[in-house]
Protein backbone atom coordinates (compact mmCIF):
# COMPACT_ATOMS: atom_id res chain seq x y z
CA UNK A 1 0.00 0.00 0.00
CA UNK A 2 1.19 3.53 -0.75
CA UNK A 3 2.59 5.42 2.24
CA UNK A 4 1.87 9.06 3.02
CA UNK A 5 5.42 10.02 2.04
CA UNK A 6 5.13 8.18 -1.31
CA UNK A 7 1.69 9.67 -2.06
CA UNK A 8 2.76 13.24 -1.32
CA UNK A 9 5.93 12.65 -3.31
CA UNK A 10 3.89 11.60 -6.35
CA UNK A 11 1.69 14.65 -6.01
CA UNK A 12 4.65 17.00 -5.87
CA UNK A 13 6.41 15.49 -8.87
CA UNK A 14 3.24 15.19 -10.91
CA UNK A 15 2.03 18.76 -10.38
CA UNK A 16 5.47 20.11 -11.21
CA UNK A 17 5.39 18.01 -14.39
CA UNK A 18 2.01 19.43 -15.33
CA UNK A 19 3.37 22.95 -15.29
CA UNK A 20 6.20 22.22 -17.71
CA UNK A 21 5.67 24.35 -20.81
CA UNK A 22 2.39 25.67 -19.48
CA UNK A 23 3.05 28.05 -16.59
CA UNK A 24 -0.30 26.89 -15.28
CA UNK A 25 -0.01 27.84 -11.64
CA UNK A 26 -2.26 25.20 -10.12
CA UNK A 27 -3.82 26.08 -6.77
CA UNK A 28 -6.05 24.15 -4.43
CA UNK A 29 -9.60 25.42 -4.33
CA UNK A 30 -9.75 28.70 -2.37
CA UNK A 31 -11.97 29.09 0.67
CA UNK A 32 -15.21 30.85 -0.07
CA UNK A 33 -16.58 33.82 1.86
CA UNK A 34 -17.38 33.27 5.52
CA UNK A 35 -20.97 32.64 6.69
CA UNK A 36 -20.90 36.13 8.18
CA UNK A 37 -20.00 37.65 4.81
CA UNK A 38 -22.69 35.65 3.04
CA UNK A 39 -25.27 36.61 5.65
CA UNK A 40 -24.61 40.20 4.65
CA UNK A 41 -25.60 39.40 1.04
CA UNK A 42 -22.55 39.79 -1.14
CA UNK A 43 -22.90 42.50 -3.77
CA UNK A 44 -23.93 41.38 -7.23
CA UNK A 45 -25.05 37.89 -6.15
CA UNK A 46 -28.54 36.85 -7.35
CA UNK A 47 -31.02 36.02 -4.62
CA UNK A 48 -32.63 33.00 -6.30
CA UNK A 49 -31.20 29.47 -5.86
CA UNK A 50 -28.41 28.29 -8.16
CA UNK A 51 -29.62 25.35 -10.20
CA UNK A 52 -27.27 22.61 -11.49
CA UNK A 53 -28.51 20.14 -14.10
CA UNK A 54 -27.30 16.55 -14.15
CA UNK A 55 -27.67 13.61 -16.51
CA UNK A 56 -26.72 9.95 -16.04
CA UNK A 57 -28.34 6.58 -16.69
CA UNK A 58 -30.95 6.61 -13.92
CA UNK A 59 -32.99 3.57 -15.01
CA UNK A 60 -32.38 0.27 -16.78
CA UNK A 61 -29.43 -2.11 -16.54
CA UNK A 62 -26.96 0.72 -15.99
CA UNK A 63 -29.20 2.71 -13.66
CA UNK A 64 -27.00 1.99 -10.66
CA UNK A 65 -24.42 4.39 -12.13
CA UNK A 66 -26.90 7.26 -12.14
CA UNK A 67 -28.28 6.32 -8.76
CA UNK A 68 -24.81 6.40 -7.21
CA UNK A 69 -23.99 9.68 -8.96
CA UNK A 70 -27.25 11.22 -7.74
CA UNK A 71 -26.57 10.13 -4.16
CA UNK A 72 -23.11 11.71 -4.12
CA UNK A 73 -24.44 14.82 -5.84
CA UNK A 74 -27.06 15.20 -3.12
CA UNK A 75 -24.42 14.66 -0.44
CA UNK A 76 -22.28 17.47 -1.88
CA UNK A 77 -25.23 19.82 -2.32
CA UNK A 78 -26.42 19.22 1.24
CA UNK A 79 -22.93 19.91 2.60
CA UNK A 80 -22.61 23.08 0.57
CA UNK A 81 -26.06 24.38 1.49
CA UNK A 82 -25.43 23.64 5.17
CA UNK A 83 -22.35 25.88 5.01
CA UNK A 84 -24.14 28.77 3.30
CA UNK A 85 -24.43 27.65 -0.32
CA UNK A 86 -22.29 29.10 -3.10
CA UNK A 87 -21.70 32.76 -2.32
CA UNK A 88 -24.88 32.68 -0.30
CA UNK A 89 -27.01 31.06 -3.01
CA UNK A 90 -28.72 27.79 -2.12
CA UNK A 91 -27.90 25.03 -4.62
CA UNK A 92 -30.69 23.03 -6.25
CA UNK A 93 -30.42 20.13 -8.68
CA UNK A 94 -32.49 19.02 -11.65
CA UNK A 95 -31.88 15.61 -13.25
CA UNK A 96 -32.64 13.85 -16.52
CA UNK A 97 -32.31 10.17 -17.43
CA UNK A 98 -29.67 9.37 -20.05
CA UNK A 99 -31.49 6.07 -20.59
CA UNK A 100 -34.05 8.14 -22.53
CA UNK A 101 -31.83 7.51 -25.53
CA UNK A 102 -33.88 9.36 -28.15
CA UNK A 103 -34.03 12.59 -26.18
CA UNK A 104 -30.57 13.08 -24.68
CA UNK A 105 -29.87 16.36 -26.46
CA UNK A 106 -33.45 17.61 -26.11
CA UNK A 107 -33.36 16.94 -22.37
CA UNK A 108 -30.06 18.75 -21.99
CA UNK A 109 -31.56 21.75 -23.75
CA UNK A 110 -34.66 21.53 -21.57
CA UNK A 111 -32.62 21.68 -18.37
CA UNK A 112 -30.87 24.85 -19.54
CA UNK A 113 -33.57 26.65 -21.50
CA UNK A 114 -36.72 25.73 -19.56
CA UNK A 115 -35.57 24.65 -16.11
CA UNK A 116 -32.88 27.35 -16.00
CA UNK A 117 -29.91 25.20 -14.98
CA UNK A 118 -26.87 27.50 -14.88
CA UNK A 119 -24.34 24.67 -14.97
CA UNK A 120 -24.37 21.02 -16.11
CA UNK A 121 -22.64 17.89 -14.83
CA UNK A 122 -22.71 14.17 -15.60
CA UNK A 123 -22.95 12.02 -18.79
CA UNK A 124 -22.18 8.30 -18.77
CA UNK A 125 -21.87 7.45 -22.47
CA UNK A 126 -18.87 8.38 -24.62
CA UNK A 127 -21.14 8.51 -27.66
CA UNK A 128 -23.49 10.90 -25.88
CA UNK A 129 -20.73 13.21 -24.70
CA UNK A 130 -19.36 13.56 -28.25
CA UNK A 131 -22.84 14.56 -29.45
CA UNK A 132 -23.40 16.85 -26.50
CA UNK A 133 -20.14 18.81 -26.60
CA UNK A 134 -20.88 20.71 -29.86
CA UNK A 135 -24.34 21.67 -28.58
CA UNK A 136 -22.88 23.06 -25.35
CA UNK A 137 -20.01 24.79 -27.12
CA UNK A 138 -21.96 26.32 -29.99
CA UNK A 139 -25.50 26.81 -28.68
CA UNK A 140 -25.95 26.59 -24.91
CA UNK A 141 -22.70 28.23 -23.75
CA UNK A 142 -23.00 26.67 -20.28
CA UNK A 143 -20.07 25.38 -18.24
CA UNK A 144 -20.42 21.58 -18.26
CA UNK A 145 -18.36 19.20 -16.10
CA UNK A 146 -18.21 15.60 -17.36
CA UNK A 147 -18.07 13.04 -14.56
CA UNK A 148 -17.92 9.68 -16.32
CA UNK A 149 -17.81 9.48 -20.15
CA UNK A 150 -14.27 8.32 -20.89
CA UNK A 151 -13.47 8.79 -24.58
CA UNK A 152 -10.08 10.46 -25.24
CA UNK A 153 -11.68 12.17 -28.23
CA UNK A 154 -13.51 14.63 -26.00
CA UNK A 155 -10.43 16.47 -24.79
CA UNK A 156 -7.67 15.25 -27.14
CA UNK A 157 -9.48 15.88 -30.43
CA UNK A 158 -11.43 19.05 -29.65
CA UNK A 159 -10.61 22.58 -28.58
CA UNK A 160 -13.06 23.00 -25.72
CA UNK A 161 -14.24 26.18 -24.07
CA UNK A 162 -17.27 25.41 -21.89
CA UNK A 163 -16.80 21.65 -21.47
CA UNK A 164 -14.47 20.23 -18.79
CA UNK A 165 -13.90 16.67 -17.60
CA UNK A 166 -13.18 16.18 -13.90
CA UNK A 167 -12.97 12.38 -14.09
CA UNK A 168 -10.16 10.15 -15.23
CA UNK A 169 -10.61 9.05 -18.84
CA UNK A 170 -9.80 5.73 -20.40
CA UNK A 171 -6.40 6.42 -21.99
CA UNK A 172 -4.21 6.74 -18.87
CA UNK A 173 -5.97 3.75 -17.30
CA UNK A 174 -5.31 1.62 -20.40
CA UNK A 175 -1.73 2.88 -20.71
CA UNK A 176 -1.22 1.88 -17.08
CA UNK A 177 -2.75 -1.53 -17.86
CA UNK A 178 -0.14 -2.14 -20.55
CA UNK A 179 2.63 -1.08 -18.16
CA UNK A 180 1.21 -3.38 -15.47
CA UNK A 181 1.29 -6.36 -17.82
CA UNK A 182 4.80 -5.62 -19.04
CA UNK A 183 6.14 -5.15 -15.51
CA UNK A 184 4.28 -7.90 -13.61
CA UNK A 185 3.27 -10.45 -16.28
CA UNK A 186 6.03 -10.48 -18.91
CA UNK A 187 5.26 -14.17 -19.57
CA UNK A 188 2.10 -13.22 -21.50
CA UNK A 189 2.21 -14.56 -25.08
CA UNK A 190 -1.41 -14.45 -26.30
CA UNK A 191 -4.13 -11.88 -25.57
CA UNK A 192 -7.88 -12.01 -26.25
CA UNK A 193 -10.31 -9.16 -25.66
CA UNK A 194 -13.95 -8.17 -25.39
CA UNK A 195 -15.51 -4.74 -25.03
CA UNK A 196 -18.81 -2.91 -25.54
CA UNK A 197 -19.79 -2.33 -29.15
CA UNK A 198 -19.40 1.46 -29.26
CA UNK A 199 -16.71 4.15 -28.99
CA UNK A 200 -15.49 3.29 -25.51
CA UNK A 201 -14.89 -0.38 -26.32
CA UNK A 202 -13.07 0.31 -29.59
CA UNK A 203 -10.90 3.06 -28.13
CA UNK A 204 -10.00 1.15 -24.98
CA UNK A 205 -8.70 -1.82 -26.95
CA UNK A 206 -6.82 0.44 -29.38
CA UNK A 207 -5.02 2.18 -26.52
CA UNK A 208 -4.18 -0.96 -24.56
CA UNK A 209 -3.07 -3.01 -27.57
CA UNK A 210 -0.99 -0.19 -29.06
CA UNK A 211 0.89 0.38 -25.83
CA UNK A 212 1.31 -3.32 -25.02
CA UNK A 213 2.83 -3.98 -28.46
CA UNK A 214 5.42 -1.31 -27.74
CA UNK A 215 6.31 -2.84 -24.39
CA UNK A 216 6.03 -6.53 -25.38
CA UNK A 217 6.52 -6.63 -29.17
CA UNK A 218 6.22 -10.43 -29.40
CA UNK A 219 2.71 -10.67 -27.96
CA UNK A 220 0.07 -12.25 -30.22
CA UNK A 221 -3.38 -10.65 -30.16
CA UNK A 222 -6.67 -12.18 -31.27
CA UNK A 223 -9.20 -10.21 -33.26
CA UNK A 224 -11.07 -8.07 -30.71
CA UNK A 225 -14.67 -8.98 -29.91
CA UNK A 226 -17.45 -6.51 -29.13
CA UNK A 227 -20.88 -7.06 -27.56
CA UNK A 228 -23.98 -4.89 -27.49
CA UNK A 229 -24.78 -3.07 -24.26
CA UNK A 230 -27.09 -5.19 -22.15
CA UNK A 231 -25.95 -8.56 -23.57
CA UNK A 232 -27.31 -11.35 -21.37
CA UNK A 233 -25.50 -14.36 -22.84
CA UNK A 234 -21.73 -14.20 -23.39
CA UNK A 235 -21.36 -17.93 -24.13
CA UNK A 236 -20.31 -17.54 -27.75
CA UNK A 237 -17.64 -14.97 -26.86
CA UNK A 238 -16.28 -17.11 -24.03
CA UNK A 239 -16.19 -20.18 -26.29
CA UNK A 240 -14.06 -18.27 -28.81
CA UNK A 241 -11.67 -17.28 -26.05
CA UNK A 242 -11.40 -20.86 -24.84
CA UNK A 243 -10.62 -21.99 -28.37
CA UNK A 244 -7.94 -19.32 -28.76
CA UNK A 245 -6.27 -20.30 -25.45
CA UNK A 246 -5.00 -16.85 -24.41
CA UNK A 247 -2.78 -16.17 -21.42
CA UNK A 248 -4.57 -12.89 -20.77
CA UNK A 249 -8.06 -11.52 -21.41
CA UNK A 250 -8.55 -7.76 -21.58
CA UNK A 251 -12.14 -6.61 -21.14
CA UNK A 252 -13.61 -3.09 -21.13
CA UNK A 253 -17.13 -4.29 -20.33
CA UNK A 254 -18.70 -2.24 -17.55
CA UNK A 255 -21.60 -2.20 -15.13
CA UNK A 256 -24.01 -5.11 -15.38
CA UNK A 257 -22.29 -6.42 -18.51
CA UNK A 258 -18.97 -6.74 -16.67
CA UNK A 259 -20.59 -8.66 -13.82
CA UNK A 260 -22.55 -10.94 -16.16
CA UNK A 261 -19.44 -11.76 -18.18
CA UNK A 262 -17.35 -12.61 -15.11
CA UNK A 263 -20.02 -14.89 -13.63
CA UNK A 264 -20.55 -16.73 -16.93
CA UNK A 265 -16.78 -16.98 -17.52
CA UNK A 266 -16.42 -18.56 -14.07
CA UNK A 267 -19.19 -21.02 -14.86
CA UNK A 268 -17.64 -22.01 -18.20
CA UNK A 269 -14.15 -22.44 -16.73
CA UNK A 270 -12.42 -19.57 -18.54
CA UNK A 271 -10.58 -18.47 -15.41
CA UNK A 272 -9.20 -21.99 -15.00
CA UNK A 273 -7.58 -21.71 -18.44
CA UNK A 274 -6.20 -18.17 -18.51
CA UNK A 275 -3.55 -16.68 -16.23
CA UNK A 276 -4.70 -13.06 -16.13
CA UNK A 277 -7.85 -10.99 -16.63
CA UNK A 278 -7.79 -7.18 -16.76
CA UNK A 279 -10.78 -4.87 -16.75
CA UNK A 280 -10.27 -1.07 -16.53
CA UNK A 281 -13.88 -0.67 -15.31
CA UNK A 282 -13.88 -3.36 -12.61
CA UNK A 283 -13.21 -0.95 -9.75
CA UNK A 284 -16.89 -0.03 -9.34
CA UNK A 285 -18.45 -1.19 -6.10
CA UNK A 286 -21.84 -1.76 -7.75
CA UNK A 287 -20.22 -4.09 -10.29
CA UNK A 288 -18.28 -5.92 -7.59
CA UNK A 289 -21.44 -6.28 -5.54
CA UNK A 290 -23.13 -7.92 -8.54
CA UNK A 291 -20.16 -10.29 -9.03
CA UNK A 292 -20.05 -11.39 -5.39
CA UNK A 293 -17.35 -13.18 -3.41
CA UNK A 294 -18.52 -16.54 -4.74
CA UNK A 295 -17.39 -15.66 -8.26
CA UNK A 296 -13.89 -14.40 -7.45
CA UNK A 297 -11.56 -16.66 -9.51
CA UNK A 298 -9.02 -18.63 -7.52
CA UNK A 299 -6.61 -19.62 -10.29
CA UNK A 300 -6.40 -16.63 -12.65
CA UNK A 301 -5.27 -13.24 -11.40
CA UNK A 302 -8.07 -10.72 -11.94
CA UNK A 303 -7.12 -7.04 -11.97
CA UNK A 304 -9.31 -3.96 -12.11
CA UNK A 305 -9.16 -0.19 -12.19
CA UNK A 306 -11.47 2.80 -12.42
CA UNK A 307 -11.72 6.54 -12.00
CA UNK A 308 -11.64 6.09 -8.20
CA UNK A 309 -11.43 3.33 -5.60
CA UNK A 310 -12.90 3.87 -2.14
CA UNK A 311 -9.79 2.52 -0.39
CA UNK A 312 -7.37 4.65 -2.43
CA UNK A 313 -5.81 7.02 -1.58
CA UNK A 314 -5.37 5.25 1.78
CA UNK A 315 -7.53 6.83 4.44
CA UNK A 316 -4.56 7.55 6.70
CA UNK A 317 -2.82 9.27 3.80
CA UNK A 318 -5.70 11.34 2.40
CA UNK A 319 -8.28 12.05 5.15
CA UNK A 320 -10.74 13.61 2.71
CA UNK A 321 -11.27 10.16 1.18
CA UNK A 322 -11.89 8.68 4.62
CA UNK A 323 -14.46 11.38 5.40
CA UNK A 324 -16.23 10.96 2.04
CA UNK A 325 -16.43 7.18 2.34
CA UNK A 326 -17.64 7.42 5.94
CA UNK A 327 -20.38 9.94 5.10
CA UNK A 328 -21.53 8.02 2.02
CA UNK A 329 -21.58 4.69 3.84
CA UNK A 330 -23.39 6.15 6.84
CA UNK A 331 -26.04 7.81 4.69
CA UNK A 332 -26.61 5.17 2.01
CA UNK A 333 -25.42 1.91 3.58
CA UNK A 334 -22.84 1.07 0.90
CA UNK A 335 -19.40 2.04 -0.32
CA UNK A 336 -19.13 4.69 -3.06
CA UNK A 337 -18.17 3.71 -6.62
CA UNK A 338 -16.12 5.99 -8.82
CA UNK A 339 -19.07 7.83 -10.38
CA UNK A 340 -19.97 8.93 -6.85
CA UNK A 341 -16.53 10.39 -6.21
CA UNK A 342 -16.33 12.15 -9.57
CA UNK A 343 -19.84 13.61 -9.27
CA UNK A 344 -19.14 14.81 -5.74
CA UNK A 345 -15.88 16.41 -6.89
CA UNK A 346 -17.58 18.05 -9.88
CA UNK A 347 -19.91 20.02 -7.61
CA UNK A 348 -17.02 21.22 -5.46
CA UNK A 349 -15.02 22.13 -8.56
CA UNK A 350 -17.90 24.32 -9.75
CA UNK A 351 -18.17 25.89 -6.31
CA UNK A 352 -14.44 26.64 -6.24
CA UNK A 353 -14.49 28.10 -9.77
CA UNK A 354 -17.54 30.28 -9.12
CA UNK A 355 -16.05 31.64 -5.91
CA UNK A 356 -12.70 32.20 -7.56
CA UNK A 357 -14.36 34.01 -10.48
CA UNK A 358 -16.37 36.18 -8.08
CA UNK A 359 -13.21 37.28 -6.31
CA UNK A 360 -11.59 38.19 -9.63
CA UNK A 361 -14.65 40.03 -10.96
CA UNK A 362 -16.16 41.49 -7.83
CA UNK A 363 -19.63 40.48 -9.00
CA UNK A 364 -21.56 37.35 -9.85
CA UNK A 365 -19.52 35.74 -12.65
CA UNK A 366 -20.76 34.98 -16.15
CA UNK A 367 -20.08 31.68 -17.90
CA UNK A 368 -16.82 32.89 -19.45
CA UNK A 369 -15.63 34.12 -16.05
CA UNK A 370 -16.22 30.64 -14.60
CA UNK A 371 -14.38 29.11 -17.58
CA UNK A 372 -11.35 31.29 -16.81
CA UNK A 373 -11.51 30.25 -13.15
CA UNK A 374 -11.81 26.52 -13.97
CA UNK A 375 -8.72 26.67 -16.18
CA UNK A 376 -5.69 26.10 -13.98
CA UNK A 377 -7.77 25.07 -10.97
CA UNK A 378 -6.93 22.14 -8.73
CA UNK A 379 -9.63 20.89 -6.40
CA UNK A 380 -9.35 18.35 -3.60
CA UNK A 381 -11.53 15.30 -4.23
CA UNK A 382 -11.82 11.86 -2.61
CA UNK A 383 -9.39 10.55 -5.25
CA UNK A 384 -6.77 13.17 -4.30
CA UNK A 385 -6.07 16.58 -5.83
CA UNK A 386 -7.53 16.87 -9.34
CA UNK A 387 -5.71 19.39 -11.53
CA UNK A 388 -7.46 20.86 -14.56
CA UNK A 389 -5.09 20.96 -17.54
CA UNK A 390 -5.09 23.41 -20.41
CA UNK A 391 -7.09 20.90 -22.50
CA UNK A 392 -9.86 20.91 -19.84
CA UNK A 393 -8.96 17.40 -18.70
CA UNK A 394 -8.70 16.70 -14.97
CA UNK A 395 -5.65 14.66 -14.00
CA UNK A 396 -4.78 12.56 -10.96
CA UNK A 397 -2.99 9.30 -10.13
CA UNK A 398 -4.02 6.00 -11.76
CA UNK A 399 -4.39 2.77 -9.79
CA UNK A 400 -4.79 -0.93 -10.61
CA UNK A 401 -5.64 -3.57 -8.00
CA UNK A 402 -6.10 -7.33 -7.74
CA UNK A 403 -9.59 -8.74 -7.17
CA UNK A 404 -9.91 -10.39 -3.74
CA UNK A 405 -12.81 -11.66 -1.66
CA UNK A 406 -14.08 -8.93 0.62
CA UNK A 407 -15.44 -11.08 3.46
CA UNK A 408 -15.49 -10.68 6.39
CA UNK A 409 -14.71 -6.97 6.30
CA UNK A 410 -16.63 -5.94 3.17
CA UNK A 411 -19.94 -7.05 1.63
CA UNK A 412 -18.45 -7.54 -1.82
CA UNK A 413 -15.08 -8.29 -3.46
CA UNK A 414 -12.41 -5.60 -3.18
CA UNK A 415 -9.22 -4.60 -4.96
CA UNK A 416 -5.97 -5.21 -3.09
CA UNK A 417 -2.24 -5.09 -3.91
CA UNK A 418 -2.86 -1.58 -5.29
CA UNK A 419 -0.37 -0.52 -7.98
CA UNK A 420 -0.19 3.26 -8.47
CA UNK A 421 0.98 5.09 -11.57
CA UNK A 422 1.85 8.77 -11.33
CA UNK A 423 -0.21 10.71 -13.84
CA UNK A 424 2.97 12.11 -15.34
CA UNK A 425 3.89 8.66 -16.66
CA UNK A 426 0.53 7.53 -18.09
CA UNK A 427 -1.37 10.65 -19.22
CA UNK A 428 -0.59 11.60 -22.83
CA UNK A 429 0.35 15.24 -23.34
CA UNK A 430 -2.55 17.58 -24.23
CA UNK A 431 -3.74 16.95 -27.78
CA UNK A 432 -2.15 13.50 -28.02
CA UNK A 433 -3.99 10.17 -28.12
CA UNK A 434 -3.58 6.65 -29.45
CA UNK A 435 -7.07 6.69 -30.97
CA UNK A 436 -8.09 8.21 -34.28
CA UNK A 437 -9.90 11.52 -33.94
CA UNK A 438 -12.00 10.96 -37.08
Give the C-alpha separation, 90 to 110, whole Å. 21
What pLDDT does residue 200 have?
87
Going from the C-alpha of 276 to that of each of 186, 190, 238, 244, 262, the distances in angstroms are 11, 11, 15, 14, 13
pLDDT at 288 over 70: yes
DSSP 228-266: -TT----HHHHHHHHHH--SEEEE---HHHHHHHHHHHH
In a 10 Å sphere around its CB, with 0-12 CB exposed, 13-18 middle and 19+ buried, how is residue 120 labelled? buried
- How confident is the model over 401-413, as a mean pLDDT? 96
| Residue 74, H or E segment | helix 63-82
Give the C-alpha separation, 188 to 179, whole Å. 13
CA nearest neighbour of 285 among 159, 426, 137, 414: 414
- How confident is the model over 296-304, as a mean pLDDT? 96
- Beta strand 225-227 with 190-196 is parallel
What pLDDT does residue 149 have?
92
- How confident is the model over 30-52, as a mean pLDDT? 72
User: Is the CB of residue 32 less than 8 Å from the CB of residue 80?
Assistant: no
- How confident is the model over 299-309, as a mean pLDDT? 96
Give the C-alpha separation, 295 to 262, whole Å. 7
pLDDT at 346 over 50: yes
- How confident is the model over 211-221, as a mean pLDDT? 96
Give the C-alpha separation, 292 to 301, whole Å. 16
- How confident is the model over 207-234, as a mean pLDDT? 96
What pLDDT does residue 2 have?
56
pLDDT in tens, 387-403: 999 999 999 999 999 99
As a whole-number percent, the residues of the chain with pLDDT over 90 amount to 84
| Residue 156, H or E segment | helix 153-156
What pLDDT does residue 312 have?
96
**Residues 38, 44, 45, 47, CA torsion sign:** positive
- How confident is the model over 216-225, as a mean pLDDT? 97
Strands laid side by side in the 377-381 sheet? 27-28, 377-381, 384-388, 394-395
Report which DSSP code applies to 294: G
- Beta strand 301-304 with 398-404 is antiparallel
pLDDT band, residue 36 (cuts 50/70/90): very low
pLDDT band, residue 15 (cuts 50/70/90): very low
Q: When comparing pLDDT for 64 and 336, which is higher? A: 336
pLDDT in tens, 351-371: 999 999 999 999 999 999 999
pLDDT band, residue 5 (cuts 50/70/90): low
CA nearest neighbour of 175 among 305, 341, 310, 3: 305
pLDDT at 134 over 80: yes
What pLDDT does residue 307 have?
93
pLDDT at 342 over 60: yes
- How confident is the model over 117-144, as a mean pLDDT? 96
Q: When comparing pLDDT for 221 and 10, which is higher? A: 221
- How confident is the model over 409-432, as a mean pLDDT? 95
- How confident is the model over 202-220, as a mean pLDDT? 95
Q: What is the mean pLDDT of the chain?
A: 91
- How confident is the model over 68-79, as a mean pLDDT? 96
Strands laid side by side in the 163-165 sheet? 91-97, 50-56, 119-122, 144-146, 163-165
CA dihedral 330, 381, 282, 405 (to 10 degrees): -50
pLDDT at 30 over 70: no
CA nearest neighbour of 330 among 66, 78, 4: 78
In a 10 Å sphere around its CB, with 0-12 CB exposed, 13-18 middle and 19+ buried, how is residue 396 labelled? buried
pTM: 0.88
pLDDT band, residue 438 (cuts 50/70/90): confident
CA dihedral 325, 327, 328, 332 (to 10 degrees): 140
pLDDT at 6 over 80: no
Structural domains of the chain ordered from first start: 4-168+316-392 (3.40.50.2300), 171-306+398-425 (3.40.50.2300)
User: Where do runs of H (alpha helix) occur along 276-413?
Assistant: 285-291, 319-332, 338-361, 367-374
pLDDT at 25 over 80: no
Rounded to the nearest 10 degrees, the angle between the axes of helix 199-215 and helix 170-184 is 30
User: Is the CB of residue 404 less than 8 Å from the CB of residue 415?
Assistant: yes
Amino acid sequence: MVTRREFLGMLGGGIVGLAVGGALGYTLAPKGPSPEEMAGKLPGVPSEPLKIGGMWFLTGKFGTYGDMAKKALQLAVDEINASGGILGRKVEITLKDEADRQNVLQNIRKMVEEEKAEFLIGIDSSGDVLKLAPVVENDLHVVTVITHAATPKLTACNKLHYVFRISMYEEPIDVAAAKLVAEKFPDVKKVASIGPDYAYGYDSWAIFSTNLKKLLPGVEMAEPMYSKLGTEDFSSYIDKMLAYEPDLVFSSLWGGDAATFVKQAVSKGLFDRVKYYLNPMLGATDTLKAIGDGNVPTKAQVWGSGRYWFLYPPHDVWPLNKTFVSKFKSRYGEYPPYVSATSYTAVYALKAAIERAYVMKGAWPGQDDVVAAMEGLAVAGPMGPVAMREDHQGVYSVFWGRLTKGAPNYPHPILTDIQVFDFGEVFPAPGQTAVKCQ
